[in-house]
Amino acid sequence: MLDAADLPDDIAALKTMLLAAQAREVRKDERIERLEKLVAAFKQAAFGRKSEKADPEQFDLALEDLETAIAAIHAEDEADSRSGKPHSKPRAANRGSLPARLPRIEEIIEPESLTCACGGGLHCIGEDMSERLDVIPAQFRVIVTRRPKYACRACTDGVAQAPAPAR
């Protein structure tokens, strides 16, 4: 997009810029039309009624024409984009963790029972923690779900943990 400060005040210069832009558009439209015709001819030659009779080397000629035309269009587009403003860098996205400034609501989901099948008590050996963003109109908050893992010290029957809630 052009900035109003970049445009000249002279009407003749503005007209010249407008005519140059229209000429570029016409050239691009003509190239696109030519490429579409080449693609249609290539499809006809490759998949048409008499495709088995065609010489395979002729397909290479059609592909060379396409590659040449595409390279010319790319070169012109790069020249046009260089003359304009430089492209800004894409926004960096942090998908690792949610910002610490958001309020957090912690909910701890315990297993149904903290007694082992052998009769011993389960003790906490770790936990799974997940964070998800919850949106309340005009307010953001993070819901932290903790699911402690419990194991018995008396036996090795395994680990007890509550199932994860639906998201």
Determine the pLDDT at residue 119.
Answer: 84
**Amino acid present at 72:** A
Q: Would you say 146 and 106 are in contact if contact means Cβ atoms under 8 Å apart? A: yes
Q: What pLDDT was estimated at residue 55? A: 64
Give the phi and the psi of residue 79 in degrees, each rounded to 5: -65, -40
CA neighbor of 60 nearest in space, from 75, 74, 45, 70: 45
Cα separation, 117 vs 58, whole angstroms: 78
pLDDT at 68: 78
Q: How far apart are CA 68 and CA 58, in angstroms?
A: 16
For residue 38, give the nearest of 77, 74, 75, 66 by alpha carbon. Answer: 66
Residues of the chain with pLDDT under 70: 1-3, 50-63, 80-88, 92-95
